[in-house]
Amino acid sequence: MGRMKNLLQKSLKQLTIYAFIVFALSVPSYFILVEWIWLEELDENNYLIAERIEREFNEQNISEEKLIENIQFWNEVQPVSQIKYTEQPLEQDSLYTIIRENSNTTGEAMERFRGLKTNIKINNRNYVVVVETNVEETEETVGYIAMVTLFFFLILVIGFWILNRRLSKKLWQPFQDTLQKLKSFQLNSEEQIDFQKTDIIEFVELNETLDKLIQHSIVTYKNQKEFTENASHELQTPLAILKNKVDILLQNNDLTERQYHIAEEMNKALIRSSRINKNLLLLAKIGNSQFDRTELVEFDALVVQSMEGLQEHFKEKNISVGSSIQQGIQVKGNSSLTDVLINNLIINAIRYTSPEEAIRVILSKSDFEVRNSGVQALDTGLLYKRFSKMSADNTGSGLGLSIVHAICRLHGWRILYSFQNNEHIFSVTF
């Protein structure tokens, strides 16, 4: 799983990225806009200069000879603002941008000029005037604008983060309250959750939906709990009666050998049925979280106790038992269920171990392992399925490993199976 982020961080990150993209696009936009405005202003200024030149020459009322001298003098003084006589006026004005040296400054720096070539009339004669004005570089202007924009952009983003953070604590407080109450909710307590009142429509709808869901879950849980308990009780009673009758029948000396074997098989079937009934009830209770998991369990003591209680089973198949049990191992959970888990794993190992083979039980601070000799690996797809059979032993209920898996899931432990060096290995990690 990747790094987790809360909803606020995700939304703020997207907004910040979007704002930065807009800012990045605004810089060239500023440049294009400032350039266009600046050239428009220069064109207007050049037209005004051309009109002023035309007006001032006409206001002099001088002779043609004197006019020619004045124009010649003008062209010498203003080398970039030439006035030339033409018989054929321009069809349209010419606007252009040129890069050249600035004659009014020292050095060889190249600068941009905005030019205008247009028609004027002096003493009713056609002339063409060329006016060029230095274009002050827009990069500096755009740079300053970008810096100011960046400054306000940072103020906006930082302010938005701070305001959003403060507002979110208040706005999301009802949601946080709902979340905390859901985390602490226990279905087996059968208590309703009193959600915090809020005027935010989305949270009101969420709380109403959760309230309906919890009510339905509690009703379903109660019905399921009552059904499993009643079913187990009602089944256990006739099974106990039947077993008692079979026991009486087995004590009858008038039975033939065939009748005795039939009664014995019936007795075994009843014992197995009773065990299945108890295990199914246990699975139902585990699934309904009807066990307290807050005890401090002495795991090492339970392992030793279980191994001592199963000594007859070890001797019956002449199985050698090795153990490595670390002392003082305590886990948080349910003592009864932990005892069931240990017993089921060791009994499962006994069933799958051939006579005169070996079993090893290992307990460390982090995990509990049961190893037993074997020939080939078990089918991992069937390991924890109910009533799955992977050996010829019919004495089991077919629920042992299913119960182990359910207990691990309830406690938040992890159970793993592997087959290495001709050994079946069941490992429970705390």
216 occurs within a structural domain: yes
174 occurs within a structural domain: no
Domain stops at, among 264, 287, 310:
287
Asked whether residue 273 falls in the same domain as residue 344, the answer is: no
16 occurs within a structural domain: yes
Domain stops at, among 91, 123, 140:
140
Asked whether residue 252 falls in the same domain as residue 362, the answer is: no
Asked whether residue 127 falls in the same domain as residue 207, the answer is: no
Q: Give the count of domains, the chain.
A: 3
Asked whether residue 30 falls in the same domain as residue 93, the answer is: yes
Q: Are 430 and 415 in contact (CB under 8 A)?
A: no
DSSP 241-254: HHHHHHHHHHT-TT
CA 4 to centroid of chain Cα atoms? 5
Asked whether residue 363 falls in the same domain as residue 256, the answer is: no
Give the amino acid at 95: L
Give the amino acid at 402: S
Cross-strand pairs, 361? 323, 370
Asked whether residue 89 falls in the same domain as residue 19, the answer is: yes
79 occurs within a structural domain: yes
For residues 400 and 378, give the distance between their C-alpha atoms in angstroms, rounded to a whole number: 15
Ordered per-residue pLDDT tens for the chain, 430 residues: 456 656 666 667 777 788 788 877 877 887 788 788 888 888 999 999 899 988 988 888 888 888 888 888 888 887 777 889 888 888 899 998 888 776 666 556 677 888 999 999 988 889 999 998 887 666 677 677 778 878 887 888 788 778 777 777 777 788 888 888 888 887 766 677 888 888 888 888 988 998 898 888 888 877 777 777 777 667 777 878 888 888 888 888 888 888 888 888 888 888 777 777 777 777 777 876 778 788 899 999 999 999 999 999 899 989 999 999 999 999 999 999 999 999 999 998 998 888 889 999 999 999 999 999 888 888 877 788 876 665 555 455 568 888 899 999 989 999 999 999 889 999 999 9
322: domain CATH number is 3.30.565.10
For residues 138 and 132, give the distance between their C-alpha atoms in angstroms, rounded to a whole number: 17
Token duo for residue 351? 């069933």
389 occurs within a structural domain: yes
Give the model's pLDDT for residue 424: 92
192 occurs within a structural domain: no
Closest CA to 42 of 131, 109, 140, 118: 131
Asked whether residue 250 falls in the same domain as residue 327, the answer is: no
Residue 31 sits in which domain range?
Answer: 7-140
CA 27 to centroid of chain Cα atoms? 35
Give the amino acid at 10: K
For residues 46 and 115, give the distance between their C-alpha atoms in angstroms, rounded to a whole number: 8
265 occurs within a structural domain: yes
Give the model's pLDDT for residue 1: 46
Q: Please report how the helices 138-171 and 173-183 are oriented relative to each other, as an axis angle in degrees rounded to 10.
A: 50
Domain stops at, among 122, 140, 158:
140
Asked whether residue 222 falls in the same domain as residue 301, the answer is: no
260: domain CATH number is 1.20.58
Asked whether residue 417 falls in the same domain as residue 308, the answer is: yes
Asked whether residue 91 falls in the same domain as residue 110, the answer is: yes
Asked whether residue 393 falls in the same domain as residue 411, the answer is: yes
Asked whether residue 299 falls in the same domain as residue 413, the answer is: yes
162 occurs within a structural domain: no
The per-residue pLDDT for range 99-125, each reduced to its tens digit, is 877 666 655 667 788 899 999 998 888
